[in-house]
Every structure is written in C-alpha cells, then in structure tokens.
Amino acid sequence: MHSTQEKLALLLTSGCAISWLESALQDAGWRVRSLAFEFTGRAEVESDARQLLGGNAPDLVLHCHLPKDAAALRLGDVSAANWQQLCEAPLRRTLISLQVARTLLGNRGAIVGLGPAFPLNGVAGLVALGAAVEGQRTLVKAAARQWIGSEIAVNWLALKTERLLPQLADVPQLGRFEVGSYGRRVPDDARLAALITAIAGNAGLAMAGQTLIADGGDWMTP
C-alpha cells in the first residue's frame, strides 16, 4: 500500500449519486479520481482509467453502477427494454469494472462494490433494479473467490437506497419504520468513508466477497 498521504482511489460509476462520497474520501485522506461510463467497452474504460490515474496504480477501486433513470416498476409491467436498461446494462458495467480493477491493481489493493441495501429483503416495484444489484453482488463474490490467492480484498458495501438513488426516496418499504428515537443510526458521510478506508486496508483481507450493510439499521439481515 502507499502511505496515508498517497492513497489513491479510483471510482468507476454510472447512474448513481456519488459526489458526496468523493468529497468524504478526500476528507479522509484519499486522492480520488472518478470515471463515469455507460456504453464504453472494457478496453476504452481501461485506457481512460490509466490516463486519469497518470500511470499510478490505485490502492482502491470502488464501483457503483445503477440505472440512470431508476424508477419504481412492478414485475408485471417490466418489458424487454426495461429489463435491459434496469438490469442487464448495470450488470455489464459491473463486469467491466471488475475486469479493469483487477488489471489496474495488479496483485494488491482493494475492490469495493457499492449498491443499495433493499434487495436483501426485496421491495415491490423495484424488481429489475433489485435483480441487477443482487447480480452485482454475485459478480463481486465470484471475483473474490477467483482472486482469493492475491492480496486484493474484494467486498460489497450496501447503503441506504436514497444515498445512491435519491429519486427513490418515496418508494414504499424502503426503511420506513416507526422506530421512534431508537433502532436506527444513519451513518454520515465521514463514517461511511472511514468504513471504506478500513475495508480497503488490511482489515478487508480478513473477508472475501462479504456484504457489509451500512444503512443505519433499516435492515438487519444475515
């Protein structure tokens, strides 16, 4: 790993609200480079990333790929076009991100996938999006299993849905519980950056393909 002052993070993203995390990681001592892509192929993403990083190897590659126009849509209303946009396209971008991350990192560092926590329980009306996120988690677990002999920590971080997709804040069942003054601790930006920093270091190598839920306690699932 580089020294604390030289930690370098690459964010590969599409469709998600992520600027708050860029700022929080910078405040936590990271140099952050962000690359957004949608319809770009693997070779072009890798080339753009190398240019953005200035030839340096990152310590962390964080990826988050969600549909640009994510909206509530019930199972019976999902068309082939909806499925491609809301499920297949984000999955493909996640695959590309994992492939590029492995090449850029070499044999050390960390890969952290980021997504909403709701698919762990399921929410009516977010069928295609939920399938995409669960597919992304499966890709992360497969990568962790395949690269377990390296010094690359590969894990998944599930956040409160509204942090990444603020347009879904009013969708029913997304953590709308009557818990009064107890039962929830919503993590602020700095705490989420601290958690990512921890699992991007040696602590992350104690796990492999694990899902950490940092939604403040909305869902408490195994």
Residue 33 — very low, low, confident or very high, per pLDDT cuts 50/70/90?
A: very high
Q: Report the percent of the chain where pLDDT is more than 70.
A: 91
Tens digits of residue pLDDT in 42-98: 999 999 999 999 999 999 999 999 988 777 777 778 889 888 888 999 999 999 999
> Which parts of 73-121 fold into alpha helices (H)?
80-83, 89-105
Q: Is the pLDDT of residue 17 over 60?
A: yes
Cα–Cα distance, 52 to 34 (Å, whole number): 8
Cβ neighbourhood burial of 210 (10 Å; 0-12, 13-18, 19+): middle
Cα–Cα distance, 99 to 94 (Å, whole number): 9
Q: What is the DSSP letter of 63?
A: E
Residues with Cβ within 8 Å of residue 146, at least 6 apart in sequence: none
More confident residue, 137 or 75: 137
Question: Which secondary structure element, helix H or strand E, spans residue 131, and what is its range?
Answer: helix 127-146
More confident residue, 106 or 122: 106
Q: Which domains does the chain have, with CATH numbers?
A: 4-214 (3.40.50.720)
